[in-house]
Amino acid sequence: MENYINQLRNYHLKATPQRIAITEALAMYGHLSIEQLYEVLKQKFNSLSLATIYKNINIMMENAFVSEVKLPEQKSVYELTKASHAHLQCKKCHNVWDIHLNLDDIIQNASKNSTFEIESANLVLSGLCENCRNEK
Amino acid sequence: MENYINQLRNYHLKATPQRIAITEALAMYGHLSIEQLYEVLKQKFNSLSLATIYKNINIMMENAFVSEVKLPEQKSVYELTKASHAHLQCKKCHNVWDIHLNLDDIIQNASKNSTFEIESANLVLSGLCENCRNEK
DNA sequence: TTAAATGCAAAAAATTTGCAGACGT
DNA sequence: ACGTCTGCAAATTTTTTGCATTTAA
């Protein structure tokens, strides 16, 4: 909590209660959509406005405190910015997990096959999570 | 052209002039956004409605004739469905290219590090294309 | 001939903006 | 105290829907 206040400040973001709550929610759940963030924070702030979520997520992305994860077949989710990693998306429950693959290898390999100067890689792996796989 | 008519029919899509034109545009340009498709087709059909683009792209995706490519920091583009491949996105000119990497290797490697049953991989590599790199 | 597609207008959904009052620093 | 943030309402943007007419097969 104190921790989140300082983290926000490190990214030049005023530590308002709403922003602290967004940070807490993302730290706890890992990946949330705009609508999910709204539902979670709504518990704590009953006068919360969706516009506040949008404004905050936008400025948090501009300041690289939060990152957007674009996913096939579902709405984007947002996460606290971390070291480069890939994502696992469950096609059944739609939850998202981090997976720590070496994206640099992929970038280097791809660089051999192109004239691009590749700076970053965005990888989403889709399938069934352990839970959903066992359910059927 | 005849060719596109049959391709559309293979995917259970009636070959209307608008759909043929969408197919031609995607075959020619590779990757186009909704708005770009609208602009391109508008040349040919001056009574064209944006709703027609949306309806067609949606049904073409349902029938797997067209695929959506979600990109970091820019609107989705659409392409004719092809064998599995990755994408290169230029951060300057915002154009998109296919790159034929072996995604199966990536999937197998990731599978070792997770309990997921991974079915597919979605990879977008971002950087500068040759043109934009040379311009500065 | 018939089911489906088109284009239009309207509706719905998603996102952004402006502003007055509240709040963090 | 100052500049920024919040919540609200309104505006804008994006996407979908309903319907009359047209069209592909």
Q: For B12-50, how does the pLDDT look when each residue is reduced to its tens digit (9 = 90+)? A: 999 999 999 999 999 999 999 999 999 999 999 999 999
Chain D: nucleotides below 7 Å from protein CB are 4-10, 15-18, 23-25
Position B47, amino acid:
S
Rounded CA separation B120/B104 (Å) = 8
Measured in angstroms, what separates residue B74's CA from nucleotide D11's C1'?
23
Rounded CA separation A8/A64 (Å) = 11
By the 8 A CB rule, do A128 and A92 touch?
Answer: yes
By the 8 A CB rule, do B129 and B92 touch?
Answer: yes
Which residue in A71, A88, A101 is closest to B109 by CB distance?
Answer: A101
Measured in angstroms, what separates residue B126's CA from nucleotide D3's C1'?
37
Q: CB of A58 within 8 Å of any CB in chain B?
A: no
User: In the numeric block, which tokens belong to residue B109?
Assistant: 């490697």
Q: Look up the CATH number of domain A2-80.
A: 1.10.10.10
Residue B102 has pLDDT above 70, yes or no: yes
Does B71 contact strand D, using a CB cutoff of 7 Å? no
Task: Give the fold, CATH level 3, of A86-134.
Answer: Dna Ligase; domain 1 (3.30.1490)
Residue B136 has pLDDT above 70, yes or no: no
Determine what percent of chain A is predicted with pLDDT higher than 70. 98
**Searching chain A, which residue's CA lies closest to the CA of residue B106?**
A106
Q: Is B9 helix (H, G, I), strand (E, B) or coil?
A: helix
Write out the residue limits of the CATH 1.10.10.10 domain(s) in chain A.
2-80
Nucleotide nearest to A13 (CA to C1'): D4
Rounded CA separation A31/A28 (Å) = 9
Does B54 contact strand D, using a CB cutoff of 7 Å? yes
Residue nearest to nucleotide D6 (CA to C1'): A52
Instruction: Report the predicted TM-score, pTM, of the whole model to 2 decimal places.
Output: 0.96
CB neighbours of B3 closer than 8 A, spacing ≥ 6? none
The confidence band for B2, taking pLDDT boundaries of 50, 70 and 90, is low
pLDDT digits (tens, 9 = 90+) for A3-42: 999 999 999 999 999 999 999 999 999 999 999 999 999 9
